[in-house]
Structure 1
């Protein structure tokens, strides 16, 4: 849709404005009525009133977390789809969500850990563990690290961790009660300290993704062509896999396993900016933040005064999109 670099830059600026507007809506909208004047006053001159406390301690962190998590999941999805050359790939294909959930259930079941901050770090370690297992399995054999082997290994590892998690939850109702809301994926009730703990990793992954974008473009031409151009394909794939772990693992650590952002957003970004990852990744970051912010705002009103976990809303949006992409891929063959 956007052809020239100038058009793409204008598009980025426009999306940035939309992202800021969505963050402002997230701060203002909710069960507690808040005017834009109250929101400004809460951010500039907080007087400790209930309305100001809601804005400063609940909605502002929630907006920042939603923007950061949405951007990270979308960028991780774009890298995964490039790495596996699979239009349906997402961080879940690495078993990242399943690995994080599995390790959290293990810690709650056997070690009675209930601290949300501690569980966030456990989730980060579980995500990294799952990705490492997938990478080792995929790299084994004479063919090395191939997209098909990564896809199959990721699917198998995700299924294994999901089965083990379900088995432990079936035997331990207490663990089910404690982790069920987290497993559904949500940015509600998360404190800014959780984001601050993983933000250095997310920021490093954002920067690393942009630095790797040109190499990913070459990798998309195929391994033989990339090697002919002097690219160290195994190193690039390993670096991209590490970035996916940091992006998706950090997101899962803060907000739980929020699905379908990594599948939907890269396709939207390609429709706007094309397949050049130097443009695709920043478009994914902005669109991912916007989508998760708007989904979170909608989650507040579905069952007002109760809230629906945002992971359920993204699933409702993502399943039809997933079916459409899958059917289009089958038709193309």
Structure 2
């Protein structure tokens, strides 16, 4: 069943006439149109009422929507042309697909349970802590993680039949439905993503009950990641096809193990300490070179604070890579502070020269 109540979205009763539906949409759309309403959620609400109007303003789509919400998939059918699928295809439970026709309908990446939309599975990234010894000599680490795997019942296709997909009856395969809105701002037709197929233009006639037509199911699984000798913090090791399975038979992603070597990892207070030290250094250097020592007394405390932050992070147990990253952070702070240091010292010297001239 569709979780959205299109009647409630438009604020009309279930027996509203076409004219009442159009009027309700017109009032709401004028208030929510992004060109008029600058609220952050106005555009999303405008799309929602447009979707509701696109369904309820079409007699056949409204009849199918009402039928599914009432629990009778054939209510309001007027012969073969009103069948959920052209040609009167019978499949699934009692000749009707699970959750058809608007289950989970929406915009963007959202899709109905009957949508056939093959998309490659994403990678799964897992952080793995390694000691300095393990990173140096290599290590095999078992990890447990959540992923989507291909559904065993439908072999990852999302359909329990041999014929996997059909042209979407709502959009005719275009992936979008058009609504006449000439009465609103003179805008002509308005295209929205088809709420039935999610924009793919294809649907499944009998979605698999185990995976709801997606072709994949969530599981908790284990895998072994082998880190070679000489691994460093942040190195990535891939295990092919052990990431998320794709939808409707598409290719799967990889499991990616990301090494976390604490002896090499620069973060937190040490990173801040290196940066603060780098920002302060150009002020002190330029003050010494130009003979303007007014900044020494002010900047000594931030310099000490930055050094303390670095030292307190256990510098005796850090590797060369940690110091290299710290040096990069120091240089970054130095570059950012240099321009301000030049400007500040220049203003101070100009001010001093003006005071001397007045005297």
More strand by share: 2
TM-score (norm 2): 0.19
More helix by share: 1
User: 1 or 2 for the larger relative contact order (CA 8 Å, sep ≥6)?
Assistant: 1
TM-score (norm 1): 0.20
Which structure has the bigger radius of gyration?
2
